[in-house]
Amino acid sequence: MIVKALRVGLGQLIVFGDWVSRPAKRKRDPAAQAGVDEAAKGLALYQFHACPFCVKTRRTLHRLNVPVALRDAKNDPVHRQALEQGGGRIKVPCLRIEEAGKVTWMYESKAIIAYLDERFGKH
């Protein structure tokens, strides 16, 4: 019970630290941002709210100004089941990428961040 309380407290501290130190959003002209918004429609991030690796990934989404659907795989049983069935395991963060009718499940925050930087960092 003490360990759980400690874990919850540390998680909230991480979320607060993220909120306080969040990077500025990338500024784009309206046409470029519309293109990013359209490209992001095929993305969804399965995550736990206070997971440090998920926070790191969400910070990148914020910095790049990429609107991705966030799916709570901890508290929402529908999203949790979708993650397990689609991705094969319950591990976060996980980026679901749907392009040209094909779905890819990408795990590991470093891989996800590299993908986001490559895809949206140049726009």
Domain boundaries, the chain: 40-123
Q: Answer yes or no: is pLDDT of 123 > 70.
A: no
Listed in order, strand segments (DSSP E) in 1-123 are 43-47, 69-72, 94-99, 102-107
| The pLDDT of residue 82 | 97
pLDDT, one tens digit per residue, over 73-110 is 999 999 999 999 999 999 999 999 999 999 999 999 99
Closest residue by Cα to residue 57 from 14, 116, 12, 17 = 116
| The pLDDT of residue 119 | 95
The CATH fold of domain 40-123: Glutaredoxin (3.40.30)
| The pLDDT of residue 13 | 76
| The pLDDT of residue 15 | 72
pLDDT, one tens digit per residue, over 22-57 is 888 889 999 999 999 999 999 999 999 999 999 999
| The pLDDT of residue 22 | 80
